[in-house]
Amino acid sequence: MSLHAALGRFAALGTVLVATDYDGVLAPIVSDPAAAFPLPGSVAALTSLSGLPGVTVAVVSGRDRATLGRLSGVAAPIVTVGSHGAEWAEGFEAALGADLLQLRSTVLSALSAIADRFPGAAVEPKPLGGALHVRNVVDPAAGAQALQEARRGPAALPGVHATEGKAVLELTVLDASKGRALTVLREQVRADAVLYLGDDVTDEKAFAVLDAPRDVSIKVDSDPAVVTAARFRVDGPAEARSVFEELAALRRS
């Protein structure tokens, strides 16, 4: 079945959940994560989808939820889930107990100590932990070594959960995944089917909870060598935007 045919079938169902990653899908990947803004028209297409009867739209990102909202400009009724499926509402971090807050601070200190020794490496604090970014480390071998030190160090602490990404290792003090987030959303919405788009390693956990042929999973990556559990592929954010636009048009007709 072609993606076009799968979208047609999906659009004809009663209640659907349309969910998507942010970076690499709605927003092109850029070297400065703080400047990753949506492709023009992407959020408009999602917003128009979210206004149609029987459609719930969710953006599920590794970003903390506040940053996701600020960068994307996405607002209700679109649901935003941050920190790889762990952060569902503002101020979530306040609900962490003293032990988890202490563990988070230990993780951040250890990551910062590693980043200090590898020029270009950066630590991004998150409500539930932190991420070590090595995208801007000039020597790829040094970047790989920094990630390896993080895996052997703070990632190995009891209660710490690691998520691998492209040139990033994210550590959290609560177990969460985009797959679990999609499962929760599917139940909340009572969706007949779920569509999900993602570009990164973390999105594979989301693809893994989707069932063909009813659900529609789309990998956003132009490199055919990248292995994915998704059933369909598109090249990049512009093609992802086309998926949202086509879906809205199909749903309206």
Active site residues: 21
DSSP string, 146-158: HHHHHHHTGGGST
Question: What is the strand order of the sheet 129-133 is part of?
Answer: 122-126, 129-133, 168-172, 161-165
**Is the Cβ–Cβ distance between 40 and 72 less than 8 Å?**
no
* Nearest distance, CB of residue 246 and Mg ion, angstroms: 21
* Nearest distance, CB of residue 19 and Mg ion, angstroms: 13
State the DSSP code for 80.
Answer: E
Helices (H), 51-155: 65-72, 98-116, 140-152
DSSP string, 194-224: EEEEE-SGGGHHHHTT--TTTSEEEEE-S-T
* Nearest distance, CB of residue 109 and Mg ion, angstroms: 27
**Is the Cβ–Cβ distance between 157 and 182 less than 8 Å?**
no
Q: Which two tokens stand for residue 214?
A: 């009813």
Binding mask 182-211 for Mg ion (x = CB under 5 A): -----------------xx-----------
* Nearest distance, CB of residue 22 and Mg ion, angstroms: 6
* Nearest distance, CB of residue 41 and Mg ion, angstroms: 18
* Nearest distance, CB of residue 85 and Mg ion, angstroms: 13
Binding mask 10-49 for Mg ion (x = CB under 5 A): -----------x-xx-------------------------
Any idea how long the chain is?
Answer: 253
The two most distant CA atoms of the chain are separated, in Å, by 57
Cα–Cα distance for residue pair 162/205, rounded to 1 Å: 13
64 vs 199 by CB, closer to Mg ion = 199
Q: Are strands 193-198 and 16-20 parallel, antiparallel or unpaired?
A: parallel
Binding mask 55-84 for Mg ion (x = CB under 5 A): ------------------------------
33 vs 114 by CB, closer to Mg ion = 33
37 vs 145 by CB, closer to Mg ion = 37
35 vs 141 by CB, closer to Mg ion = 35
110 vs 172 by CB, closer to Mg ion = 172
**Is the Cβ–Cβ distance between 247 and 47 less than 8 Å?**
no
127 vs 198 by CB, closer to Mg ion = 198
By CB under 5 A, residue 221 contacts Mg ion: no
Give the binding site for Mg ion (CB under 5 A): 21, 23-24, 199-200
